Structure 1
Amino acid sequence: MSRHERRAEQSGEGQQRPGAPALITGATSGLGRSLARALAARGWTVLVHGRDESRCAAVVEELRTAGGTASPYLADLSSLGEAAELGRRVAAEHSSLGLLVNNAGVGAGRDARRRAVSRDGYELRFAVNYLAPVVLTHALRTPLRAAGSAQVLNIGSIGQSPVDPDDVQFTRRYDGMEAYTRSKFALAAFTFTIAEEYACDGIRVNCVHPASYMDTTMVTEAGVRPWSSVEEGTKAVLHAIDEGVRGSSGQYYNASRRAKAHRLAYAAETQRRLTSLTDQLIAPTQDAGGTVW
């Protein structure tokens, strides 16, 4: 048993406060929408995040019609300011949060040579897939702590490439797939960086690769023939959530198996450098005095 799991056990394994909702980013299609249905069926109040008002409303209506409880939350996570505001709004409206699933993401894209940027001018995949989850997780730490036994689950990928600290914005020899795998490496490293500290608050933090090339818009837009289904990915995510309820923290799952992420994602020096770089990039969205991981 890891140190994370021992601390989680001591805090009261599986005792998530009834009524503490779950926030799922990117919940208007694909894996996020499927997970929203599954969690609502389990009795969770689901906070449905999306960037399109009508699609958000459609998912909320679908969940309510099926007997669930849901509310819409709009934000464009290509803006770190909007990611921070989403966190502040959720924290203001919900004193506790039982689960945060950082699912929203941008894939490799159809044209691997086309380097896109976020609204803040950062490389798009790094911004949406990594920086936005960092900002949102920071903003929601207080309501997660208040739940008593909450979880943060980062939707990662088996594809992981170390971030180049001298070219974080990937301005040289750009490749869309590598930009994607760099962002997922960073997300895994973030998971392991905060897991020990967040365990002190009774918050379990894990990362899961749900399935390879699911039948999602992200995959089809990249011109890839799907290898697996959203249903398979949903089962893997639910397994990771159940593992968190049982006390697992600081872990990486490949589908429904505990696995190992890229070896450098665990390295203290890698985590230190990435934390420092990240703090500089997200500083404009944070309160005075710097960030606290």
Structure 2
Amino acid sequence: MNTTDRTILLTGATSGLGRAVADTLANQDVRLILHGRDSERLATVASELADAPAQIELVQADLSDLNQVMRLADDVAELTDHLDVLVHNAGVGKGADDTRELSADGYELRLAVNHLAPFALTQRLLPLLEIGAPSRIVNVASGAQQPIDFADPHLEHGYSGNRAYAQSKFAMVTFGFALAKTLLSDVVTVNSLHPATLMPTRMVKEGYGRTVDDLDTGVDAVLNLINNPGLDGTTGQYFSIQQPAAAHRETYETETQRRLWQLSEELTGVQY
């Protein structure tokens, strides 16, 4: 077991991009807190990384349930007194068809997992990130971004898996920009990225049946925002793979950010 003080929390670490990022980080001198929804998959990850240089800790929660999101924050706080990096990687893809699904709280599932869970978890973990300053929040978003219909955020009308997924990632990026404005860049930075296009993950194969970029492209993109010293103090940015890029134009709008923030607080019960 190492004695490093650098602590990274990675959500969605048991499969796909998250698992590949976890495998790479496990070979570094870090304390790695890995989140997953399934206890058996978490146990498998722990077993396979048992001999890795990193100190591995496990936390379990279903991010479609806000009660479990809050418990996750408490569990992390019991494991560490600070965080250096928080990586919001866990997510739900477009799905195999256009069946509309709801979270445990009755919210559209993709909005709940891909945006509301990170929104609530970030608020609960900000004290640990501030203690770990200078720290980083990394939002694993997507180039697929579609503005939210604030009159119908749960897509009761006109639902499609593509629309739900793109709306949730639009929300993640928009909130990242808004949050970055409230935090000192030498304390906590907040950046979002499109890691790669249609990587060979189960989520992509289920939704699209084809791949474009390899998994290493996505891993390197996420690691760039976690580790690159050249990004010290860089905040409120969106990256496409490893290059600064423009997100959807409406993600930058102050009024859109305000309305999303207000909606998110109302739905989660979290107050920043």
Scaled by the length of structure 2, what TM-score is found?
A: 0.95
Q: Amino acid of the residue matched to residue 79 of structure 1?
A: D
Q: What's 1:90 paired with?
A: 76
1:110 aligns with 2:90: no
Match of 1:240, SS? helix
Deviations 1:133-158 (A, max 9, x none): 00111110001000121111000000
CA contact (8 A) 1:63 1:69 kept: no
Structure 2 contact 38–60 (Cα < 8 Å) conserved: yes
Residue type of the partner of 2:238?
Y
Name the counterpart of 2:183: 198
- Provide the C-alpha distance between the structure 1 equivalents of 2:23 and 2:50, rounded to a whole number of angstroms: 10
Unmatched runs of 5 consecutive residues or more in structure 1:
1-17
SS in 2 for 1:205: strand
Map of 2:256 onto structure 1? 270
Equivalent position to 1:131, from 89, 110, 116: 116
Corresponding residue for residue 261 of structure 1? 247
- Does residue 24 (structure 1) correspond to residue 10 (structure 2)? The answer is yes
Which protein has greater RCO, CA pairs closer than 8 Å, 6+ apart? 1
Gap change, CA 1:201 and 1:118, over 3 Å in 2: farther
Distance, in Å, in 2 between the alignment partners of 1:194 and 1:37 is 29
Query: Is 1:51 aligned to residue 21 of structure 2?
Result: no
Native 8 Å contact 1:157 1:184 kept in 2: yes
Residue-by-residue CA offset, 1:158-207 (whole Å, 9 max, x unaligned): 01000001001110011110100000000000000011222267001100
Q: Secondary structure at the match of 1:71?
A: strand
Q: Which AA in structure 1 matches 2:24? A: A
SS in 1 for 2:50: helix
SS of residue matched to 1:193: helix
4+ residue stretches of structure 1 with deviation over 3 A? 242-245
Match of 1:155 in 2: 140
Shift of residue 223, structure 1, vs aligned partner: 3.9
Give the secondary-structure state (helix, strand or coil) at the position aligned to 1:61.
helix
Q: Which amino acid is the alignment partner of residue 78 of structure 2?
A: A
**What is the aligned-residue identity percentage?**
41
TM-score by length of 1: 0.88
Q: Distance in 2 between matches of 1:46 and 1:279?
A: 29
Contact 2:115–2:168 at 8 Å: present in 1 too? yes
RMSD: 1.5
- SS in structure 2 at match of 1:77: coil
User: Does the 8 Å contact 1:192/1:266 carry over to 2?
Assistant: yes
Q: Which residue of 1 aligns with 2:266?
A: 280
Letter paired with 2:188: I
* Number of corresponding residues: 269
